[in-house]
């Protein structure tokens, strides 16, 4: 039981705590044009203009009056007053989510297996059935759930006041 706790359950709990802590980071006010200065050239963005048109491309440069991007079909320099909002493409974390799901599923499967095996008698055909079946089953289910968690997406970095 100590081995299972040390190797499976504790790492799964630590991964869940780290993931929750990463989600609780402070948010900057998005009505601040200076937020765009924080973005690196080449970052993928989506710009919504005052007329409702949306452009997608990569940042070239930001000035106090304009935003220059390499759009999918052309190079555009957009006036600050024409921009309604800017969204930044976030990197995906599918690999990280898969590993977290694997760890949590393995820990849950191990815990369930130990619980099931503690109720079995010594004369049973497969005395470690719970650990041998539920541990890998939990790992597979956790991995599938980790892969299915949505990743990436868009994060709003600027909205016109």
Contacts of 37 (CB under 8 A, 6+ apart): 62
**CA angle, residues 34, 74, 64, in degrees to nearest 5:** 20
Per-residue model confidence (pLDDT) at position 74: 84
Rounded CA separation 122/128 (Å): 10
What does the pLDDT read at residue 69?
A: 92
Alpha carbon distance 14, 144 (integer Å): 20
Q: How far apart are CA 8 and CA 111, in angstroms?
A: 9
**pLDDT in the model for residue 86:** 93
User: What architecture (CATH level 2) is domain 33-89?
Assistant: Roll (2.30)
Determine the pLDDT at residue 95.
Answer: 87
Q: Is the dihedral of CA 9, 15, 18, 20 positive or negative?
A: negative
Average pLDDT along the chain, 161 residues, taken 10 residues at a time: 53 58 53 85 91 92 91 86 92 86 90 83 74 87 87 87 84
pLDDT tens digits, residue range 82-127? 999 999 998 888 888 899 999 999 999 888 888 888 887 767 777 7
């Amino acid at each position: 039981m100590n081995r299972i706790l040390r190797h499976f359950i504790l790492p799964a709990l630590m991964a869940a705590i780290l993931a929750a802590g990463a989600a609780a980071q402070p948010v900057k006010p998005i009505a601040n044009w200076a937020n765009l200065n924080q973005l690196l050239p080449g970052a993928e963005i989506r710009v919504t203009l005052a007329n409702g048109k949306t452009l997608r491309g990569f940042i070239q440069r930001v000035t106090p009056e304009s935003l220059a991007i390499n759009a999918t079909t052309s190079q555009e320099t957009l006036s600050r007053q024409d921009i309604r909002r800017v969204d930044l493409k976030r990197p995906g974390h599918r690999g990280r989510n898969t590993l977290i799901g694997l760890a949590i599923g393995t820990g849950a499967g191990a815990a369930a297996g130990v619980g099931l095996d503690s109720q079995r008698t010594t004369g049973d055909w497969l005395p470690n059935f719970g650990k041998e079946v539920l541990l890998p089953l939990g790992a597979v289910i956790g991995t599938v759930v980790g892969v299915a968690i949505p990743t990436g997406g868009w994060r709003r970095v600027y909205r016109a006041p």
